[in-house]
């Protein structure tokens, strides 16, 4: 029995949804959803170049306050579209989205921060000014602005590089600049779209640790899209597996990891079981995507799953 291993009584990948648990006097109060998606779908309208495209849905999903939710799915299944709909950057064509009880419409709600895949740092600004750019729409005193930038740089481990320019940093550090730019707004929900896609494997694992740390330190909810099954299995409390386009939630896997975790969970036997389950679900969907680029809607296997 290793002394360092946190006790984990629950079977990881096979955990039942809490909804099916027996009610009991000592049950914890119900966890309220921070973001709710009901019957959400997106069809891109036909244009002169192409016909209409049903890209996503229907999707039902509740994100719980403070959880780490990852999404995996084959390329082109609608992951980014889903994230953009939650962020208010793209309008759903069906269904409704709420953040903290208010409908999400045509703008990023206050309290939501978005980090994209590509390195979006501005090469002509210092690290500090890149991060402060995140506060451009907020009316804060100079002192509060400085404090927030300092704190965000501390969380991503770039305090010593405040005066550097992006070109002087590694790819992983530049992506941390982008994460810090989102953190200064003190988001309660952080949406990340394949933020480590361009990084090598080792850097990705270490960045995963950074994200886990900032998730714990900020208490924010994290919604992470990734194409890497190991990343999802290592980081998340729950992992939504999407079908081929139009993307729906095919399965939601609960990892059962303790909150205080890091990349060393990859050494645990449950880790293999979780990634195996993810791959089992995804293999068929990925083959559909590979086999027929313009695959027909996968009506058979992709029943919408209501996740609460
Ligand atoms: P993923 O992030 O899973 O790779 P996306 O959400 O980017 O997938 O895209 C889902 C599908 O919607 C793809 O087939 C893509 O080509 C299509 N799509 C995305 N954005 C648009 C758009 N603005 N207009 C038309 N089709 C789009
Ligand atoms: Mg994408």
pLDDT for 144-200, tens place per residue? 999 999 999 988 889 999 999 999 998 888 988 999 999 899 999 999 999 887 777
> According to the model, what pLDDT value does residue 240 have?
97
Top mutation candidate among 41, 70, 78 for ligand 1, by most atoms within 8 Å of CB: 78
Q: Which ligand is in closest contact with the Cα of 77? A: 1
Residue range 115-119: average pLDDT?
79
Q: Is the pLDDT of residue 5 over 50?
A: no
Cβ of residue 261 lying under 6 Å from some atom of ligand 1: no
Cβ of residue 76 lying under 6 Å from some atom of ligand 1: yes
> According to the model, what pLDDT value does residue 13 have?
44
Do the beta carbons of residue 74 and residue 242 sit within 8 Å?
Answer: yes
Cβ of residue 89 lying under 6 Å from some atom of ligand 1: no
Nearest CA to ligand 1 atom 20: 81
Q: Counting atoms of ligand 1 from 1, which one is nearest the CA of 75? A: 4
Q: What does pTM read for this prediction?
A: 0.83
> According to the model, what pLDDT value does residue 19 have?
42
pLDDT for 197-218, tens place per residue? 777 787 788 788 888 988 998 8
Which tokens in the block code for residue 276?
């195996």
Confidence of residue 31 (pLDDT cuts 50, 70, 90): low
Residue range 106-133: average pLDDT?
90
Cβ of residue 80 lying under 6 Å from some atom of ligand 1: yes
> According to the model, what pLDDT value does residue 197 have?
78
| Proportion of the chain above pLDDT 90, given as a percent | 58
- Residue 111 CA to residue 109 CA, distance in Å, equals 6
DSSP calls for 52-101: -EEEEEEEEEEEETT-EEEEE--TTSSHHHHHHHHHTSS--SEEEEEETT
Which tokens in the block code for residue 223?
């919604």
> According to the model, what pLDDT value does residue 8 have?
41
Q: Is the pLDDT of residue 302 over 60?
A: no
Q: Is the pLDDT of residue 305 over 50?
A: no
Nearest CA to ligand 1 atom 22: 44
Nearest CA to ligand 1 atom 27: 44
């Amino acid at each position: 029995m290793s002394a360092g291993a946190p006790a984990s009584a629950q079977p990881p990948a096979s955990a039942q949804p809490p909804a099916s648990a027996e009610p009991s006097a000592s049950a914890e109060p119900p966890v309220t959803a921070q973001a709710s998606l009901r019957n959400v779908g997106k069809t891109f309208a036909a244009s002169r170049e192409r016909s209409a495209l049903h890209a996503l849905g229907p999707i039902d999903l509740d994100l719980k306050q403070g959880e780490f939710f990852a999404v995996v799915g084959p390329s082109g299944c609608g992951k980014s579209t889903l994230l953009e709909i939650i962020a208010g950057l793209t309008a759903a064509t069906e269904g409704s989205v709420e953040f903290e009880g208010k409908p999400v419409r045509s703008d990023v709600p206050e309290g939501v921060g978005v980090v994209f895949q590509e390195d979006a740092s501005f090469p002509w600004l210092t690290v500090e000014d890149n991060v402060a750019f995140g506060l451009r729409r907020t009316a804060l005193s100079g002192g509060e602005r400085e404090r927030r930038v300092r704190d965000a740089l501390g969380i991503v481990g770039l305090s010593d590089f405040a005066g550097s320019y992006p070109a002087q940093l590694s790819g992983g550090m530049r992506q941390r600049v982008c994460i810090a730019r989102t953190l200064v707004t003190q988001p309660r929900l952080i949406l990340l779209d394949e933020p480590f896609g361009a990084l090598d494997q080792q850097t990705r694992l270490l960045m995963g640790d950074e994200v886990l740390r900032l998730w714990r330190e900020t208490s924010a909810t994290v919604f992470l899209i990734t194409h890497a099954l190991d990343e999802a299995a290592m980081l998340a409390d729950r992992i939504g597996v999407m079908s081929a386009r139009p993307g729906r939630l095919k399965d939601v896997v609960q990892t059962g990891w303790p909150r205080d975790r890091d990349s060393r969970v990859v050494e645990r036997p449950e880790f293999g079981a979780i990634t195996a389950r993810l791959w089992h679900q995804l293999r068929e969907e990925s083959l559909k995507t590979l086999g027929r680029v313009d695959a027909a809607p996968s009506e058979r296997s992709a029943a919408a799953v209501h996740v609460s």
